[in-house]
Amino acid sequence: MRAGVELSNTEEPDEELRQEQEFVDGLYARVDALRADAETSVTDALAQGSTPMQARLERDILVTERSGLLAALNAVDGSLCFGRIDLASGAAHHIGRIGLRAADADRTPVLIDWRAEVARPFYLATGHTPMGLRRRRHITSEGRRVTALHDEILDLGDRTRTGHEDPSGDAVLLAALDSARTGRMGDIVRTIQADQDRIIRAPHRGVLVVEGGPGTGKTAVALHRAAYLLYEHRELLARRAVLVVGPNPAFLGYIGEVLPSLGETGVLLATVGELFPGVRATGTDTPEAAAVKGGAAMADVLAAAVRARQALPDPVVAIEHDREVLMLDDDLVRVARDRARAAKLPHNEAREYFEGHVLNTLTDMVAERIGTDPYDGAGLLDAADITQIRDDLAENPEVRAAVDRLWPRLTPQRLVADLLAAPEGFLSAEDAAAVRRPVTRHWTAADVPLLDEAAELLGVDDRIARDRADRERREQIAYAQGVLDVSYASRTYEFEDVDDEDAEVLLAHDIIDAERFAERQEEEDHRSAAERAAADRTWAFGHIIVDEAQELSPMAWRLLMRRCPTRSMTLVGDPAQTAEAAGVGSWAEILAPYVGDRWKHTRLAVNYRTPAEVMELAAAVVRAGDPGFVPPASVRSTGVRPWVRAARDLPAAVAEAVRELTPDEGRLAVIAPRELHGALAARLDGVTAGAEPDLTRRVVLLDPRQSKGLEFDSVLVVEPARYGTSDLYVALTRATQHLGVLHTGELPEGLAGEGPVREE
């Protein structure tokens, strides 16, 4: 059998294939047994119902562990084992997506997790540096069936041959690069390269910046790094969770299967627009509005907006109390406001100080009118009377209304909505015009960092929530007591004819009181750490990974830094692809306010996705404005040059090009300006405009920003002159095989050169 040739359904397997198939069959038998055991354990544990505290804790731990194991086993069901390393010592280790042990008493390892240190030579060993290996084997499978083997000889003195030798050692990598796309990113665990492995296994403390051009695999590296960190620091990161931030929902859907395929389900994937619980960003901003909202100055603007809501009387507030009028003037309220601000608390939390000082001031007024010195108590009223006056004032609706007017309780949504509806006085006339909008408009992704900043400035006045919780708690206990009373009455009636000396039956009253009974009825929280983190704005993640990090605004970075106080982050991106108006683009500028120069930078310089012919054209576009631009080096060439074609009837030309470019297998992306989507979708079967694209469809319609981080077998770029340089660079580098360009007007510099095949 020739190296790299897959086994057909009719071909008889050789001895090497047969042995590997037997091994894999044994692995799946073990997986099936573990899966059955996990399902049984979870079912039995949940069936136990309420239990004493310690037993309930143990049960919750078991449910969490077994549920996680079950999810991992289900996720990695295909191609569980993908490699083997044969050591010079004679030992051999099979490498897989998860680690498995035998069912014997010693729990002997039978499959090594790809993240374990012993598996590292599988990725790093070379003929020059064999790292103790004599052979490396890549195992290709379809589901549970082994279909091909590719062996690399690392010890040239070893004369043993299997018939599956791969002289170049690149067959598996090139096969993965040439395979048809499915609309979902696949893991690269079988083909991790040495430069990628070093990044994946880098220490997790601190900030690591991974820069790389199109096709360098930086997103895949970041996701595999998340899986590695969860393996290496399981106790810490499983408890605190890992957050992966992507540029848009379509991208998150595209990468959503990678981590589960590696056995990891405890990761939260989100866009910045999804990081404020209870808010879903469905609106869009103009580039000008997004730039203003994303600017660092908005932190000061929001702080000023909060201070503006801490008002003074104009000129006085009159409060009727016990048929008298109490006057709160500017000076009195200013003292209360200054003392509340001096507490250095968020606005809603400081309200208690403001309200307390106002009540003290009004109490002094009433006491003085009655003729009592409120400080030494001399006069008609004693301390109890003074306290009663203060309590009465606190219940006065006019006092509460005055406090609400002068120091209102605010929500982040109310503060930001009011600011954007009337930004004058807080922003320049130009910036105010850019962001102004009606209060009823949907939230945008650029609003979410503002909401988060507002939440920090406002805090939570939880007195009302505490009072409500206490009231609900008392009601639960009262209900529980009623249940116990009914139970006691019914059981007493049942045994009323039994002699006292024979009445040894324990009743509910004898073993539990109403408070403990109420506790047992409370709903238990079985959510994972990632699920709890998604619902908690104040959650501190153990590690954060940010894809397309160059696109985030300064305000978005403030949000993310609050989510990770330890500053344990992996940031991946490419400044050359910065397209958002609010994007920072400079790593030093992003990180200096938070970690100074205490961050590490590394670069991926090899392009695994984009063929050399396509990359040459895309680089020419960038070089038109930046002659010194150096693109990543492509590892492969298809021999097919991109083509550029002028069109008169653009929708018809797009429909014809789609028929031409759509691969027999795989996916095609039509990348066009958003304003053309309606007309183009009308000519393309099964393609819709104005919705989040379904990347699993054969043909999808995207704008350049939606295509960031994605890849397709074929790409058709429409009207390139309407894109900025960064957007055009992104659009041109999404293809793994074929690229076409359609235009009706002038071409941008770079596309008009000699690189593409020009067609009329």
3-state secondary structure 349-398: HHHHHHHHHHHHHHHHHHHHHHCCCCCCCCCCCCHHHHHHHHHHHHHCHH
For the ranges 163-177, 500-514, 607-621, the lowest mean pLDDT is seen at 500-514
137 contacts 149 by C-beta, under 8 angstroms? yes
User: Which of these, 156, 189, 162, 141, lies nearest to 23 by C-alpha position?
Assistant: 141
Average pLDDT over residues 61-71: 52
Give me the pLDDT at residue 176, please: 79
Q: What is the pLDDT of residue 688?
A: 86
Given a cut of 60, whether residue 325 has pLDDT beyond it is yes
Q: Report the C-alpha gap between 433 and 270 in whole angstroms.
A: 30
- 561-565 mean pLDDT: 96
Q: Per-residue pLDDT averaged across 514-536, rounded? A: 70
- Predicted confidence at residue 48, as pLDDT, reads 60
User: What are the tens digits of pLDDT across the range 679-705?
Assistant: 999 999 888 887 778 899 999 999 999
* Torsions phi, psi for 683 (to 5 deg): -105, 0
What tokens appear for 122 in the block? Answer: 């599988």
The tens digit of pLDDT for each residue in 267-295 reads 999 999 999 999 989 898 999 999 999 99
Q: pLDDT value at position 2? A: 37
Q: What per-residue confidence (pLDDT) applies to 606? A: 93
pLDDT of residue 66 exceeding 80, the answer is no
Distance CA 361, CA 210 (A): 59
* pLDDT band, very low/low/confident/very high, at 480 (cuts 50, 70, 90): low
- Residue 8, pLDDT > 50, answer no
Instruction: Specify whether the CB–CB gap between 34 and 69 falls below 8 A.
Output: yes
Asked whether the predicted pLDDT for residue 491 surpasses 90, the reply is: no
Cβ atoms of 258 and 185 closer than 8 Å: yes
CA 168, CA 145: separation in Å to the nearest integer?
25
From residue 654, give the alpha-carbon distance in Å to each of 181, 671, 718.
21, 11, 8
pLDDT in tens, 657-666: 999 998 888 8
Name the pTM for this structure. Answer: 0.82
365 pLDDT band (50/70/90 cuts)?
Answer: very high
Q: Band of the pLDDT at 320, cuts 50, 70, 90? A: very high
pLDDT classification of 144: cutoffs 50, 70, 90: confident
In degrees, rounded to 5, the angle at the alpha carbon of residue 356 between the alpha carbons of residues 351 and 360 is 150
Q: pLDDT category, 652, cuts 50, 70, 90?
A: very high
Which residues have C-beta within 8 Å of that of residue 36, sequence separation ≥ 6?
A: none
Quickly state the pLDDT bin for 588 (edges 50, 70, 90).
very high
Question: Amino acid identity of 405?
Answer: R
**pLDDT tens readout for residues 706-757:** 999 899 999 999 999 999 999 999 999 999 999 999 999 889 988 876 555 6
Between 162 and 519, residue with greater pLDDT? 162
Cβ pair 139, 149 in contact under 8 A: yes
Q: Whole-angstrom Cα distance, residue 723 to residue 618?
A: 13
% of the chain beyond a pLDDT of 70: 82
Identify the band that residue 463 occupies on the pLDDT scale cut at 50, 70 and 90.
Answer: low
- Residues 181-207 pLDDT 10s: 878 888 888 888 999 999 999 987 899
The C-alpha atoms of residue 276 and residue 537 are separated, in whole angstroms, by: 6
The more confident residue out of 445 and 127 is 445
Interstrand relation of 242-246 and 207-212 (parallel, antiparallel or unpaired): unpaired
Q: If DSSP states are collapsed to H, E and C, what string results for 189-225? A: CCCCCHHHHHHHCCCCCCEEEEEECCCCCHHHHHHHH
pLDDT of residue 507: 42
Banded model confidence at residue 259, pLDDT cuts 50, 70, 90:
confident
Span 101-109, mean pLDDT? 84
Q: Which of 689, 693, 671 is nearest to 679 (CA)?
A: 689
Confidence label for 506 from pLDDT (cuts 50, 70 and 90): very low
Average pLDDT over residues 7-17: 65
Which band of pLDDT confidence, cut at 50, 70 and 90, is reported for residue 10? very low
Least confident of 127-136, 301-310, 504-513, 605-614: 504-513
- For the chain, the average pLDDT equals 85
